[in-house]
Amino acid sequence: MMKNMRKNKDVGIYGLTAKWYDKNSRKSRMAEMQSYAHEVASHVSKNANILEVAPGPGYLSIELAKKGFNLTGVEISPDFIEIEKNNAKEANVSVNFKEGNASNLPCEDNFFDFIVCSAAFKNFKDPVKALCEMYRVLKQGGTSLIIDMNYEATSDDIDNEVRKLGMKGFDKYFVKFAFKTFLKKGAYTKEDFETFLKEIPFKNYKIKKDGISLYVYLYK
C-alpha cells in the first residue's frame, strides 16, 4: 500500500486524518519525541539552526525549540502546518513551519547545523533526491539523522514498541496492525539505505538498529 502510494507522489496526511493523528498520537509519542530531541541536542551547540523534514504535528520541532534551538519545519500537508502552528503557539515557542516537499526543500544552501526526519522517510517518492536535498541545505560539518521503521523489525520488536507506547483499546490494536502491515511493508532495510548512499554526496555515515527503528546518521 505505502509503496504503491509513493510511486506517484510523496505520501502526506490530510484533513480529518491529520486531526485524528494529532489527537491520538500526542500522548503516546511525547516521550519518544523528547528522546529524539535529547539525541539531536547532543550533536549541536547552543543556538544551532535545525531543520525537521516532514514534522507532522510538530512535536519534535517544538521540543527542540524549547531547548533554545532555531527550528524550521518543512511539511507537505497544509493541514499539518496549521496543526503545527497551533501546537507551537500552545507551547509558547517559535518554529518556522512552512509548506514544501522533501525532494525540493524551500531552504537555502549550507544553512542548517542539523537535519532530522522521523517516521516519514518511507513516505517519500524519491528517497535519493530527498537525501541530496538534505545534503544541499546542510552546513559543512553538519549531521542529518533519519529515524524510521526497520523493514526487518520482528513481531516481538513491534509488540515491545506498542507496549512502550502505553496505548490501550482500539488505538493499541490499530497501531500494532499498522506497524505489522502497511508501515512495515513500506519501510527500508539497512541495506536499502546503503544502496541509496552510493548515489548521493554523503560519504560518511552510521546506521544503527534500535527496536523497530533504524537510526541513519549522515555526516557532511
pLDDT at 7 over 90: no
Cβ(86)–Cβ(104) below 8 Å? no
What's the mean pLDDT when you consider all of the chain? 89
C-alpha cell at 131: 537525501
2-152+188-219 architecture in CATH? 3-Layer(aba) Sandwich (3.40)
Residue-range domain boundaries for the chain: 2-152+188-219
- Report the percent of the chain where pLDDT is more than 70: 87
CA–CA dist 24, 18 (Å, integer): 10
Could you tell me the pLDDT band of residue 27, with boundaries at 50, 70 and 90?
A: confident
The predicted structure's pLDDT at residue 171? 67
Residue 63 is predicted with a pLDDT of 97
Residue pair 149/216 in contact (Cβ under 8 Å)? The answer is: no
| Ramachandran bin of 209, using left for φ above 0, alpha for ψ from -120 to 50, beta for the remaining angles | beta
Interval 116-123 mean pLDDT: 95
| 37-76 confidence digits (pLDDT tens) | 999 999 999 999 999 999 999 999 999 999 999 999 999 9
Report for 3-17, 26-40, 127-141, 163-177: range of highest mean pLDDT = 127-141
CB 24 within 8 A of CB 83: no
What's the gap between Cα 148 and its chain centre?
Answer: 7
- Is residue 1 over pLDDT 60? no
Q: Is the pTM of this model over 0.75?
A: yes
Predicted pLDDT at 156: 83
Say which residue the cell 512535536 belongs to: 59
Residues 6+ apart with CB under 8 A from 217: 143, 144, 145, 205, 206, 207, 208
Question: What is the arithmetic mean of pLDDT over 23-35?
Answer: 83
Residue 197's CB: how many other CB atoms inside 10 A? 18
pLDDT of residue 189: 96
User: How many CA atoms, within 13 angstroms, populate the side-chain half-sphere of residue 158?
Assistant: 19
